Chain A
Amino acid sequence: MAEWNVYFQNEDDGEAQEEGEEPGGDYRVTGRDCLVLLVDASKEMFIKEEDGETTNFDMTMQVVRSVYTRKIISSPGDLVALVFYGTKQSQDPTKSFKHVYVYHNLSELGAKRVQQVDALQGEKGALLAAETMGSDETSLCDALWCCANLFRDCKLRLGHKRLLIFTCTDQPHGGDSVKDRQARTQASDLRESGVVIELMHLMKAGGFDVSLFFRDVISPPEDESELGLQQEPCEKLADLQRRVRAKEQKKRTMAKLNLCLGEGVNVAVGMYALAVNARKPGAIRLYRESNEPVRSKSRTFHTETGSLLLPSEIKKAQVYGNKQIVMEKDEVDAIKKFDDPGLFLIGFKAMEELKLHHHIRPAVFLYPAEGEVKGSSCLFSALLTKCVERNVFALCRCISRRNYPPRFVALVPQEEKLDEGKVQTTPPGFNVIYLPYADDLRNLDPPQTPYASPTQVDKMREIVHKLRFKYRSDAFENPVLQQYYRNLEALALDMMAPDDIEDLIMPKVDQIDLRLGPLVQEFKDLVYPADYNPDTKSAAKRRAAGAGGTAEKKPKVEVSEDELRAHIQKGTLGKMTVALLKEACKQFGIRTTGTKKQELMDALVDKLAT
């Protein structure tokens, strides 16, 4: 979603943008990113697993659709193509390949394409697909050649180029070594021209052996790591989704910086935003008559002479203490400049020193940039290992961009973690936590309220225990965005009514109530007086004023139901004070008209005896 901000930058943000928060991606746009989805459509892809209900092809199409919709949302400028190979019918712009079907040529995505992908899904889709596809003849060489043509013939300037192959056949040519070799050569040509080829291999009976053929087709894993090939084929849709999502986008740095440990010791690092607030894109302006987008031009002119003003004829000013203070524009920039961009190590602190509430903006991620300074990875790795081992973080002064004032950050070490499928779940590197300055902390005057007793805490513990779940950061969709895109999709695809969205951040009240059962009432009995209603503020106020002037009186806690019953049984109710008895009455919802001790005692005995 790096493109988000770039693409939809609000025009009228003006000055606010200058000062404003760092947007997620800061890179020079050098061309459009391309993604070609090359999908095996040979017969094997349409075989239903014994237990499974979907074919590999169907699963792939679901993923393709989600790639489409996700791209539309996150990076609408990207170019995407969908090509099938191993098909009966053939179709490509040059009409020179057999068994290759260019379903979507390399271009921007739109509503229509999503619909067309939909057409290949489900029962109907399977039928259609089976008609046009599912041949025995496969030539990956032709398919790759065709893809190469797509890249070549694209008139736009291309940036990062990616090719994802979806297949469940580890030997597409059935061991035909000539065809294998041709395909390898074609693949290597593609790779040479800067295309990254990734394999999304799917499960099939007998397993998928990457080493048989595909190892020589796909690009070597990024950064020459040893990670990659050991991946198991995808069995589940979710796995495939995840793997595709990890691969479909190029990692982009927000900045490449030097992490300076001291004079002359500079480690090159890339700064990455792994979480950026996704927002609804801004609207674009259209001409009413033709629905075509308009461009805006702004110009600055002198109100008296009417002449356009050059930048040199403009200065900046602020007013303080009845005085306008004027500066040149460069001076305004110069004031903001403290140093060149970079991270400068101040020292280390134990992890406990990092305060939970010292949070002012989302963290970013640091990973060494070996390509900038050779040897960075080694020193970075040593630093990471030692920081993890000693449970410390590095405190740095950070200037993330030119003319940005410094902020202090905590570099929190993070070890690499893999899941059972050897897929990386957390990458190795440092999380950069931005720390607040004195100005950023607000002085609060915490209200003084009484503390809970152990009995009350225990009851709440039961409640908490009943409602525990495993939080995952990617489990909650943003209902606002989802709704927006559903609507937009509906309008764009001419659907009658948008799909309903499930608001995942709505509490499931019924389930919660069911799980808690009587616990809620029990807890309330322990902490609230009988007639306490949190909804009515005034009542609460009166209560508080009337009942809880002094600290001793505050909680009626002391009189639990059990205690009362014990008193009644032993006939020691009279030992309680009038005030406590009154509270007890309230607690059990007994309306008492009298205030005499005996009346209260009688009422309680009546109530609890039944």
Chain B
Amino acid sequence: MSRSKSFHVLCMDVGLSMSNSAPGEDSPFELSKQVIQKFVQRQVFAEVKDELALVLFGTDSTNNPLAQDGRYQNITVHRNLMVPDFELLEEIENQVHPENQQADWLDALVVCMDLLQTGIKGKRYDQLNIYFLSDLGVEANSEELDVIVENLKQVDITLQFFLPFSAEEESVDEAGDAGRGGPGARGSGKGLSREQKIGLEMVKHIMLSLDEQDGLDQIYTFRNAIEGLCMFKSTERRPMAWPCQLTIGSALSIRIVGYKAVTEEKLKKTWLTVDALSHKRDHIKKETVYCLDDDNETEVQKDDLIQGFCYGSDIVPFSKVDQEQMKYKHDGKCFAVLGFTNQNLVPRHSFMGMQTIKIFAPGDDQHAGVALSALIRALDELKMVAIVRYAYDRRCNPQIGAAFPCIKLNYECLIYVQLPFMEDLRHFTYASLNCKKFSPSDTQLQAVDSLIDSMMLVDKDEDGNLKDLFKVHHIPNPAFQRLFQCLHHRAVNPGTALPPMEPWLVALLDRPDVIKERCGVPLDAVKKVFPLKVMEKKKPLKTSAEIFGKDSEQPHAKKAKGDSAEEDEGEEYNLADISEGSVTSVGSVNPARDFRILIKQKTLPFQGACEQLTHRIEQLLGNKNTQYYMKSITCIQAFRELSVKLGKADLYNSYLQLLKGSITNRGLEVFWDLLVQGSISLIGQDEVEGSSVSKNEAAQFLLADEKNEEPVATMADDADDVDDLLDNM
């Protein structure tokens, strides 16, 4: 599997003019440094064996094999061809700085070519590349231009230019096709110096001589390059062919080749465990011992172990020989059709396994090609699939799967996916959602409909072409990107904390901006019409306490139990106000608590506090939303509780009566139901002596408007009934 490798030379201008930049912008030097960093990073993590050299020009010193007699000055071969490593990345990080000289960029190009030619002697190679980064700020000596081009052609070197400006502006009419420079292109033709203009012409001349048609496509801006290089390329795998025969019965077989087309790619490397001090792997050893399950944990030698399998509570010893003998045996490699079925009987969610395989006919067998094509087209026309028995080879377990027809513009194939066995399936039933309780209203459905409208990711652009705003299969696996980013950071900046995620990656995983903008209003609408309430964890919905809050459980019972519990709560509020700062009025965030504190601290007279509280309640009720209703309920509970405690029932009772009177006018029936369910009634004489309301009246108060014949009268005393009612909610 020895693949011939490629050789790359990065040639970067570090000369004086590279440091010039408009204020607030990265200088061409900074940008081109980023380009080479990303490029080298990518090579390092991809673990390809390609060799790479780095040549700097415009350096103060000179160090290159061609430097003689004052020629090829200020050009430094920083690193000769070799497989890139972290050392190189560190050097780029720490040793590549802007310098103060200028060098002839054509000379630098010649140095690069020379490096490649000497470097590849006696080696097999795939591709030779020179990546040239410069602002072309110095006029180059064009005398040897043609010789250079000739040479490039001869050795078959691919050349790519990276410039701080786009080559496109001035050549639109020449090349005709737009989009090469892209939107990120900086620096228009206008701002170019004379040298740069001449330089650009030379660059174009070179590129067009190398490739008349697409030569100019190999000129990039720094910005484009950084964007393109941002994604670490993970190791590419060569597809492995799986030759087999598709059989239909005993008489018909078609030669096929399968290739894994889609499968979750994992990184080849995993984490090693090393000693924290020495960072050495050999210093750590993991050892496993076996012991009997007795009190002494008697250790047993590995040789004294045999294998067994569980059959329920029984353990059946099973020797390796037994196992081998009893194993399911089959004939090996196989792709046999069991029959054909309608595509809609094989729904997408029934796919099993971790991959899809594309099945072709072998490229060298046209007859097989025709036969397979006939099958693919027949299946496609009939909207059917083949159900097949698939076995990769003798050692692997056979599978059942489906082969779907797939017809593309330039090829046809079958797509194979595994299907479940009976043993794999779990038959759960779920309650129907078509019941009254959960059925959304028309308004609610409408809100969801508009949300979907606003969030469609595939849209028509101005030209009527469909445009997908979010192609998942174009996104690189963020886990790999993040890992490489962190590894790179740790290697180059040891001892510092890991960096935050790169913004481009975060943006890539988020809703596209257009969608974010569009869905704002519909989302608010959804929020408004669908009340969502986070339930207390762990406990199932059982007691009123969970809906109405712990401190309000049952006013009656609480009082009977004595005040100790309430005292405790009082303590709690004291603590709370120390940490929360002093409370001077009933706020809107937690009005019930504020109210309690105010009463406790006696900062306000009782009546004043009550007025503030009722004011807040009215505000909350104005919102007509379950969440606010709940808040109001806790307020009323607090109001009631403290009124009882202080023996002042009148304010509370009159407010509640007032409230009841306004229920229908204000459309607060839902809220009223909550009050009823919480059995938050008037304060009767049994609770506060001075109350003008009798016990019976208090009990009847909530009942009056009830249409149901539920035994509400007893409700206030009987907690269980409350639960039942709540369950019916």
Contact = CB atoms under 8 A, between A and B. Distances in A.
B360 A449 contact: yes
Interface stretch (B133-141, B196-204, B419-427): B419-427
B293 interface: yes
B455 A347 contact: yes
Given A283-B308, A338-B501, A348-B456, A277 B87 contact: no
B143 interface: no
B479 A317 contact: no
Contacts of B327: 483
Contacts of A554: 366, 370
B45 to A, nearest CB: 6
Nearest to B531: A375
Given A326-B279, A362-B353, A481-B421, A373 B533 contact: yes
B352 A362 contact: yes
A330 B361 CA distance: 50
B363 to A, nearest CB: 3
A315 B532 contact: no
B252 A523 contact: yes
A421 interface: no
B248 A512 contact: yes
Contacts of A335: 482-483, 486, 498
Interface range on chain A (Cβ under 8 Å from partner): 35 or more
A261 B477 CA distance: 23
B89 to A, nearest CB: 7
Given A222-B431, A227-B431, A452 B249 contact: no
A433 interface: yes
A460 B348 contact: no
B321 interface: no
What's the dominant secondary structure at chain A's contact region? mixed
B435 A379 contact: no
B600 interface: no
Most buried by A among B368, B382, B432, B477: B432
A197 B14 CA distance: 80
A457 B362 CA distance: 19
B532 A296 contact: no
Contacts of A472: 345
Nearest to A226: B435
B255 interface: yes
A477 interface: yes
Interface in B296-350: 297, 300, 304-318, 322, 326-328, 336-342, 345-346, 348-350
B473 interface: yes
A21 interface: yes
B532 A374 contact: yes
Contacts of B571: none
Contacts of A107: 313
Interface in A1-24: 1-2, 11, 15-16, 19, 21
A374 to B, nearest CB: 4
Interface in A367-421: 367-368, 370-387, 390, 392, 395, 397, 405-406, 408, 412, 414, 416
B478 A320 contact: no
B252 A323 contact: no
A284 B85 CA distance: 45
Nearest to A488: B311
Interface stretch (A108-116, A119-127, A594-602): A108-116
Interface residues of B, number: 203
Contacts of A154: none
Nearest to A249: B426
B35 to A, nearest CB: 18
A299 B274 CA distance: 14
Interface in B252-302: 252-255, 257, 259-266, 269-277, 279, 281-293, 297, 300
A476 to B, nearest CB: 5
A439 B457 contact: no
Contacts of B400: 476, 505
B266 to A, nearest CB: 7
B94 interface: no
B440 A381 contact: yes
A15 B473 CA distance: 28
A110 to B, nearest CB: 4
Given A291-B308, A293-B315, A326-B279, A275 B530 contact: no
A288 to B, nearest CB: 5
A76 B316 CA distance: 14
Contact of B276 (A223, A288, A303, A312): A312
Interface string A531-545: 010110100110111
A251 B530 contact: no
A441 B360 contact: no
B412 interface: yes
Interface stretch (B208-216, B443-451, B578-586, B704-712): B443-451
A480 B398 contact: yes
B575 interface: no
A297 B423 contact: no
Contacts of B670: none
A355 B237 CA distance: 22
Contacts of B468: 349, 353
A534 B360 contact: no
A317 B483 CA distance: 12
Contact of A291 (B315, B439, B456, B531): B315
B413 interface: yes
A427 B288 contact: no
A320 B88 CA distance: 12
A294 B300 contact: yes
B118 interface: no
Interface in B377-396: 377-379, 381-382, 384, 387, 389
A153 to B, nearest CB: 18
Given A107-B313, A349-B456, A447-B257, A464 B384 contact: yes
Contact of B404 (A356, A365, A384): A356
B581 to A, nearest CB: 27
B68 interface: no
Nearest to A109: B312
Contacts of A429: 430
A77 to B, nearest CB: 9
Contacts of B300: 287, 294
Contact of A461 (B381, B411, B429, B530): B381
A495 interface: no
Given A226-B432, A323-B86, A379 B482 contact: no
A314 B534 contact: no
A358 B523 CA distance: 30
A452 B381 CA distance: 13
Given A278-B421, A459-B374, A332 B271 contact: yes
B685 to A, nearest CB: 37
Contacts of A246: 427-429
Contact of B382 (A221, A336, A461): A461
Interface stretch (A143-151, A513-521, A558-566): A513-521
B433 to A, nearest CB: 4
Given A295-B291, A475-B422, A507-B336, A245 B478 contact: no
B273 A298 contact: no
A457 to B, nearest CB: 4
Contacts of B254: 534
B431 A492 contact: no
Interface string A425-455: 0011101010111111111111111111100
Interface string B709-722: 00000000000000
B457 A349 contact: yes
B86 to A, nearest CB: 4
Most buried by B among A109, A448, A460, A491: A460
Given A249-B428, A390-B452, 7 more contacts: A108-B312, A314-B275, A321-B86, A350-B458, A506-B389, A520-B251, A532-B367
Q: 9 shortest A-B CB distances, which residue pairs?
A: A449-B369, A225-B431, A447-B363, A405-B479, A431-B349, A512-B249, A382-B440, A323-B86, A452-B374
6 contacts: A19-B266, A287-B306, A300-B285, A378-B439, A386-B449, A456-B371
